[in-house]
Structure 1
């Protein structure tokens, strides 16, 4: 520090030299120290408040990220489901057309003189089945009764085959991908009751 600066610091506002008593200087230092402690304490409180605010904001951010991810996943699943199963009602309605083709083919097989017409109907029926398969509609193939795929419309007591063997398919069942579109209506074998 330069000599002039030292002298300027030792002057009071009137320009007179400050008289500092040894005790007065200590009191002044103690006051400054107390003020600094209060200031530091205030700053520490502000820091704690800001840290808490940052923590709450971070937790909120993480929560919103999770929520956004959940919404994205749900939207993706809904979109996939609509893509896979969006034709479900249409496909169910089309199954009635398939049933009618099968009835017509069965009826025409026994008739004479409709060989060419039968071939034409068979070709259209095959094309319809390919289109359905292309879009995930497939016939349910089961030999044993499975309540998730079949509907028992009748039973026949018999010992000739195992219990729950499907003896007759009354109406074919179909699935759209992995979802049952229409259960197969079947007649199922049940054990004969012993007469005593």
Structure 2
């Protein structure tokens, strides 16, 4: 190989290498950079942001309302429970008192049957009955038991039970003129109605006003 051919050969190789470099550079330059690609989700309008904020505020308002309702319901449950406990405490002895009332009735009948002229052993027994009756009555009063003895009052079907009707022109109709058996209430609740005799107001009137 001559000296001129040796000089020409490197130039050809250099040209080829330069060409390859230029192609690679061209390829790199044609590839889009990350800065040219828009990020996902960045293109959000102001209207959409406002709508999202409004939806979030509405959800917060709903949650707040739910919390308030829950607290109110808990307060109602607590109050109902307190009332139930109070009622259970007040009326826990109602059944027992109802069963004891006939004993009190018998004591009162014994006192009514006395003539007041008893002597000796009979007088001592009568005094014992009187003391027993007083002690029994005082105990019921302490337990908030109130006797219903409605002589002269207007007949009340909620509190009284009419046993008979008696014509009496001197007494207004639907008036209680006699009590056959006393009634009793416990803390305002009727335990036993009073058994009564009611005036019909005259010989021709025989109707009791049950709604009085």
TM-score per shorter chain, which class? 0.7 to 0.9
Q: Secondary structure at the match of 1:112?
A: coil
**Structure 1, residues 107-151: CA drift from partner, whole Å, max 9, x if none?**
344673311111111111101101101111011132222222111
Q: 1:95 aligns with which of 78, 95, 101?
A: 101
CA distance in 1, matches of 2:175, 2:41: 94
Residues 152-194 of structure 1: per-residue CA shift (max 9 Å, x gap): 1001112122212222111111111211111110111112118
Alignment of 1:61-140 (within 5 A): 61-109=67-115, 112-113=118-119, 114-140=122-148
TM-score (norm 1): 0.72
* Distance in 2 of aligned mates of 1:133 and 1:55: 55
Q: Are the structure 2 counterparts of residues 51 and 117 from structure 1 closer, same or farther at C-alpha, using a change threshold of 3 Å?
A: same
Shift in alpha-carbon separation, 1:141–1:103, aligned structure 2, 3 A: closer
Q: 1:38 Cα deviation (Å)?
A: 2.2
Q: Write the distance in 2 (CA, Å) between the matches of 1:166 and 1:42.
A: 81
CA distance in 2, matches of 1:45, 1:128: 77
Do the aligned residues in 1 keep the contact of 2:149 with 2:179 (CA within 8 Å)? no
Instruction: Tell me the C-alpha RMSD between the 2 structures.
Output: 2.8
Gaps of 5+ in 1: 1-26
Task: State the match for 1:21 in structure 2.
Answer: none
Judge which range, 105-114 or 68-77, deviates more.
105-114
Which runs of 5 or more residues in structure 2 are unaligned?
1-34, 206-212
Which of residues 162, 168, 187 in structure 2 aligns to 1:158? 168
How does the TM-score come out when normalised to structure 2? 0.67
Larger radius of gyration: 2
Aligned residues between the structures: 165
- Aligned position for 2:190: 180
Which residue does 2:18 correspond to in 1?
none
